[in-house]
Chain A
Amino acid sequence: MKKEKKSKSNRIIHIAIRNIRPMTNHSVNPSEILISDQQNKSAITSHSLENYQQYRLSSNKSISLFKLPEINCTNDYHRKKKTKWHIRQYLCLVVLLVILMMIIISIVLPIILIKQSHTSTKSISAILRWNTSGITIAIANSLNGPYGFKLDRFGTLYIVEYYGHRITKWLSGASNGTIIAGSLSGLPGNASNEFYNPADIIIEDNGDMYITDRSNDRLQFWPNGNSFGITVAGT
């Protein structure tokens, strides 16, 4: 005991154990420890687990050894010097870190900025976006199998009705179209005023129309306002 006391010099204090608890949990209740040196009581209460284990090992004796935290040592003079030195070291480190950060930022920031401007000019598809839900602009009980269609600058729609065998004209916002070519009955045929599965349309500036009459294997020319078409190609 004496030997140990010597080697550890002033870092060792004596304590007496009043009541030894069964060692089931690892926390130590400071109130159970009587400390010979009242000045060090506050330091003892904040003991670490390591010190506590030391206390466990020697707990069968009435006196056990505790390591004191560093603040309780007597050679304060050296300690103060050392902490000053530490502060200097820390300051140097902080300054170094700040410099390093500045260097990193000065390198990374231009890269990020260049990248951002690069992506914003590259992604042309970002400008071209469409609503994923369509708006129905032409629907009616009478509309039968819209295939080809044309839209003029006024928003008027010309729709080729593949199963309705006719061409209908829909003014912008209209809920119904008017028949401008083909049969009124909605039945197919190969007469000059009929179509059989018309598919696509070209409208001239004057309103004359060219229509591919698909199942009749012919190209129909339908002058504006006419009541019948003229076969210009095919049979």
Chain B
Amino acid sequence: MQLDYPTGIVRDSSSNTLYIADSYNHRIVSYPSGNIVAGGTFGFANNQLSRPIGLFYDSFSKSFIISNYLSHNVVQWPLDASSWTHMAGGINGSNGNTSTLLLNPIGVIVDPMGNLYVADINNYRIQFFSQGQKEGQTIAGVTGISSSTAPYLRSPRFLALDNQLNLYISEINSNRILKFLRY
């Protein structure tokens, strides 16, 4: 199995299979079988991916949540499906800094209620999308302002949630992990 800049990696604990966002091959591959489970060619069509980087496996819906860095959106690709459904961000590659758009999304995560969290890295913010909603709310950072001091973010990459839904963010260029308390 060839890989080209593999980035995000997730595990489906029910089958103990790993899935890798094979970014520059624009696909999701499984380990150890080596099957292509999503994408394979670059593009904006619903059977294509455009540099997937962030990857999350939602065991409730049995689907992958994938961030497309170059088409500025987040898509949901059910396991064993041959196409995605749009979750958040632009369609056909559009990008921006409004509540419905993203600019180079990377980290993606879904909580047990189905809400989506996106590290919208070049808008320097974390966007929250209520389950099924296309309009996001900024829950960390300030749109368009890059800074290492609170409340700004400089370079958010990946996200995590603990069981109390506190939010964790890795800041690649300011060398720290941030914790945002839920209250």
Residues in chain A within 8 A of chain B (CB atoms): 124-125, 128-140, 143-151, 153, 157, 159, 162-163, 199-202, 210-215, 217-219, 232-235
* Cα separation A133 to B18 with both chains bound (whole Å): 34
Known: A147-B172, A234-B6. 13 other contacts (CB 8 A): A125-B137, A130-B182, A131-B183, A134-B150, A134-B180, A135-B178, A135-B179, A147-B170, A149-B168, A202-B18, A217-B4, A219-B20, A233-B34
Residues on the A chain within 8 Å of B29, using CB: 233
Offer 12 A-B interface pairs, CB within 8 angstroms, sorted by A. A128-B165, A129-B182, A132-B150, A133-B150, A146-B171, A200-B7, A202-B18, A210-B9, A214-B7, A217-B3, A233-B34, A234-B2
- B130 close to chain A: CB less than 8 A: yes
Residues on the B chain within 8 Å of A202, using CB: 9-11, 18
Residues on the B chain within 8 Å of A134, using CB: 140, 150-151, 169, 178-180
A218: nearest chain-B partner, CB-CB? B3
B166: nearest chain-A partner, CB-CB? A130
- Within the complex, the shortest CB–CB distance from B126 to chain A, in Å, comes to 9
A-B contact count (CB 8 A): 150
- Chain A interface: which of B60-68, B74-82, B155-163? B155-163
Are A199 and B140 closer than 8 Å at their CB atoms? no
* Cα separation A205 to B115 with both chains bound (whole Å): 27
* Cα separation A143 to B5 with both chains bound (whole Å): 22
- Within the complex, the shortest CB–CB distance from B148 to chain A, in Å, comes to 10
Are B162 and A151 closer than 8 Å at their CB atoms? yes
Are B176 and A139 closer than 8 Å at their CB atoms? yes
Q: When A199-B8, A200-B158 are in contact, do A132 and B177 touch as well, CB less than 8 Å? A: no
Are B177 and A235 closer than 8 Å at their CB atoms? no
**Complex A-B, nearest 8 residue pairs according to Cβ-Cβ distance, in ascending order:** A134-B178, A234-B3, A133-B150, A139-B176, A138-B177, A212-B6, A146-B170, A130-B180
